[in-house]
Amino acid sequence: MYSAIAVYVLAFFAFCAEWVFGGRSRVARQSAALTAARTAVAAPAPAVVEAAAEGGGGVALATRPVVVVRGGGHDSDAADDRGDVTGGDERSDRFGRIAVALTVVAFLMHFGTILTRGLAVKRAPWGNMYEFSTAVALMAVAAFLVTLMLRPVRWLGLFVVLPVMCTLGLAVGVLYTDSQQLVPALHSYWLWIHVSTAIVSFGALHIGALASLLFLFKDGYETRMKAAQPVRRKWDTMMERLPASVSLDKTAYRVNALIFPLWTFAVVAGAIWAEVAWGRYWGWDPKETWSFITWVAYAAYLHARATGGWKGRNAAYLSLVAFSCFLVNYYVVNIFVNGLHSYSGV
């Protein structure tokens, strides 16, 4: 696992280099465009010079020179709906490709670690918080790589690898538990069904939450640039290379809508397993209660989008609230609240 974390760190720095060199390239091209514009304005129009050379008394009309200014929104060089991290810089693109390659290598090493853990204990490798955390981090990277194969979302890599590193660091540094067998209630095929679907849901919903968070920053940037006197900030070159806010909003909605049925199945499967293990489908255990709260939060988000026409910032806030419920359910309830699902003391 430590080797996988080390490769994730290298991938993180490669993604950082992609953003840094892409930003420098963009600033250089904007500066060159502004210099060319000033030169065009200062120089006399070609038609006027030609008329003067001929000695004519009339004034020849000339085409008005195009003046390039720092625009307040997307221009031909700015990020479109797909995003443009590199800013057209070859070196930035090279770092981006290296970062993706390192992410794939780290993912394979990460997967191998979880596989060997499962083979060692001869059970599903997600029987405690350490194992669950490593599996969730794996699914978050898998969701990013699958999305990357379908759409050009390399701009998302930096924002995925960072929480993955934090999750793995917390797992190995705080939540680590030696390999051991499970309590009798957990010896069931429902461990493979219920927990695996929860892992996939939690990992994939990271992408929806990240898209919602980035949307808020991008929307704020676009709002500032539409003002009569735009106020530019240091991180605006980064905002310009993200996809348009509308695209980020759609990405968050599509991911959350796609994963919500799977999360619904995970909750239902948990209730069925509870009946098998404890003789009741629902007992309002803290874990069960927060799972239901999380489900309601995502259902409210999707309902608001579908029927209330909620888009933009309100929808993003709802998405982040729903994902926060997921985090509370996992970290706070598991560690600090006693119940049948409690992992206190690991």
> What pLDDT is recorded for position 40?
47
Amino acid sitting at position 158: L
> What pLDDT is recorded for position 38?
45
> What pLDDT is recorded for position 81?
58
Q: What's the first-to-final CA gap in the chain, in angstroms?
A: 18
CA 124 to each of CA 45, 51, 77, 186, 306: distance values in angstroms, whole numbers, following the listed order: 76, 85, 49, 10, 37
> What pLDDT is recorded for position 72?
36
Q: Which residue has the tokens 């209630």?
A: 185
CA angle centred on 242, ends 240 and 245, rounded to 5°:
95
Print pLDDT tens along the chain (346 aa).
899 999 999 999 999 999 888 866 555 444 444 444 444 444 454 444 444 444 444 444 444 333 333 333 334 334 445 667 777 788 888 999 999 999 999 999 999 999 999 898 888 888 888 999 999 999 999 999 999 998 888 999 999 999 999 999 999 998 888 877 777 767 778 888 998 999 999 999 999 999 999 999 999 888 888 877 777 777 777 788 888 889 899 999 999 999 999 999 999 998 898 888 788 888 888 888 899 999 999 999 999 888 877 778 889 999 999 999 999 988 888 888 776 666 544 4
> What pLDDT is recorded for position 293?
94
CA angle centred on 190, ends 184 and 195, rounded to 5°:
100
Return the SS3 of 18.
helix
The Cα–Cα gap between 117 and 334 comes to: 22
